[in-house]
Amino acid sequence: MEAVANNQLVSIEKPEIVAPPNWEPVIIGILCNWCSYAGSDLTGTSRIQYPPNIRIIRVPCSSRVDPWFLIKSLQTTADGVLVSGCHPGDCHYISGNYYARRRFLVTKKLLNFVGFHEDRIQFSWVSAAEGPKFAKVVAKVTEDIKKLGPLHLYKKENFEK
């Protein structure tokens, strides 16, 4: 069989799934402790408002994020995942975010290949001083995932039925 070219890897998620009324997506945000988590704290201290759909998990570094976490999130509780780390070059652990970036690209490709829409998992750089930026990122991710609707693909409950 011929190899599938990258640009042919399109989502097999069905757009016709209609979200129930008052549906709100659940988004898991996995943030590194030193930049993005601190940045999200700053968003709080600055009282900048953002959509309440995100649930934040703290990890020491974005390089701690195992692709497994993303798969597990989409498989169980989340409609989308945001991973955020320090800006390139600013990693608290010297080079962790570079590993995270590479690993994330591969994971994204894989998840895309098995049928998830690419907006389901997103990546961003937010520094400890970028409170407003964090709010913007969350607002964008929430909006993207709201557009996609609830995630049914590969959800555990679908298999159990």
- Are 149 and 108 a contacting pair, CB within 8 Å? no
36, 43, 124, 142: residue in contact with other proteins (rule CB under 8 A): 43
Q: Shortest distance, CB of residue 16 to other proteins, whole angstroms?
A: 26
**Nearest-approach distance from CB 42 to other proteins, in angstroms:** 8
125 binds other proteins (CB under 8 A): no
Site residues for other proteins, window 58-87 (CB under 8 A)?
Answer: 58-61, 63-69, 72-73, 76-78, 86
Task: Give which of 81, 109, 103, 100 is closest to 35, Cα–Cα.
Answer: 100
CB 121 within 8 A of CB 127: no
Supply the minimum distance, in Å, between the C-beta of residue 120 and other proteins. 15
Q: Which residues does 73 contact at the CB level (< 8 Å), separation at least 6?
A: 28, 81
Backbone angles phi, psi at 29, to 5 degrees: -110, 120
C-beta closer to other proteins: residue 9 or 103 = 103
Sheet order of strands, 27-32 included: 54-59, 27-32, 80-85, 121-125
Decide whether 14 or 102 has the Cβ nearer to other proteins.
Answer: 102
Cβ 133 to other proteins shortest distance, Å: 10
The CA distance from 22 to 4, in Å, is 39
95-114: contacts with other proteins (CB under 8 A): 95-96, 99, 103
- Closest Cα to residue 96, out of 84, 81, 107? 84
Residues that bind other proteins (CB under 8 A): 24, 26, 28, 33-35, 37-38, 40-41, 43-45, 47-50, 52, 55-61, 63-69, 72-73, 76-78, 86, 89-90, 92-96, 99, 103, 127-129, 135
